[in-house]
Structure 1
């Protein structure tokens, strides 16, 4: 009886494990469209925005720089060069936000960062590094548009 119990437990265990497996369907066309390698990964450039050295800008100047900053973000996103951007919450490390650029080199990303009025004015300082991540990140902008309510 004990032997039968162990055999039955083993069979149920195998059945449970196989039921938990999910079938992955590789989409080669999508992988190539998104720029992914065989593992679905690609190179980006990660940018950490930190508080810059400009501590004398007036409130009006900062407002102007931030308007330009947001316009630049939107332009780069529309061009497909900026995949993700967003601010950090208040923190003690002077981290202000991130950019993830869809470019192959840090030099290309540096040229894009330098088009940001807040970076030019030294409101922000940018640190750039190559980053390897899922090519699926490329669909974030398209998906974001689908989940953002239009302005009223």
Structure 2
């Protein structure tokens, strides 16, 4: 009898724990604000930045163009058009960095890429492709601002 009661108690606790683990934490308002589909995903455009064919820019010119590049990144991020950007570490593929644009089409992303001084000057070259990822990626900037000291 004692074993039966313990077994029933164990099964009840396990069932309660399992139902809590599988219970959805879906937030409809948040999902809609991020334009998430039923999987919590959405379309973006992924941009691979590679070294461009401009090999004649002076060090001073390159520095000025990359300052504009960084300013442009900040502007696009504040506008919500750029949800992720960052450089690659040194590599042998001429990969320089990535952007993930919060747009659905290559044409929209081309217009945004055209605002980057480092790309305009051919110091960088952009390769664009559609990408499907978590709609939560748009929240990254808010979190990043909370963990950045300067």
- Give the shorter-chain TM-score range: 0.7 to 0.9
Residues 33, 20 of structure 1: alpha-carbon distance in 2 compared, 3 angstrom cutoff: closer
Q: TM-score, normalised by structure 2?
A: 0.86
Runs of 4+ in 1 over 4 A off after TM superposition: none
Structure 1 counterpart of 2:36: 36
Aligned residues: 141
Kindly state the Cα deviation for residue 24 of structure 1 after the two structures are TM-superposed.
2.7
- Aligned partners of 1:87 and 1:24: how far apart in 2? 36
Aligned equivalents of 2:106, 2:19: Cα separation in 1: 45
CA offsets per residue over residues 99-126 of structure 1, 9 Å max, x none?
A: 0000111001001001100000000000
Match of 1:89 in 2: 89
SS at match of 1:86: strand
Q: Distance in 1 between matches of 2:133 and 2:125?
A: 24
Name the SS for the 2:43 alignment partner: strand
Correspondence 1:19-98 to 2 at 5 A: 21-98=21-98
Please list every run of 5 or more consecutive structure 2 residues that lacks an aligned counterpart in the other structure. Answer: 1-6
Ranges in structure 1 where 5+ consecutive residues have no aligned partner: 1-7
Aligned residue for 1:133?
133
Which residue of the partner structure matches residue 3 of structure 2?
none
Distance 1:64 1:21 in 2: 52
- CA RMSD of superposed structures (Å): 2.0
Q: Provide the TM-score with structure 1 as the length reference.
A: 0.85
Counterpart in 2 of 1:3? Answer: none
Q: Could you tell me how far apart the structure 1 residues matched to 2:79 and 2:18 are? A: 44
Q: Secondary structure at the match of 2:45?
A: strand
Distance 1:35 1:19 in 2: 28
| Deviation of 1:65 (Å) | 0.5
Give how far 1:25 is off: 1.2
- Deviation readout 1:4-34 (Å, 9 max, x if unpaired): xxxx8xx88xx49938945331111100001
Equivalent position SS for 2:46? strand
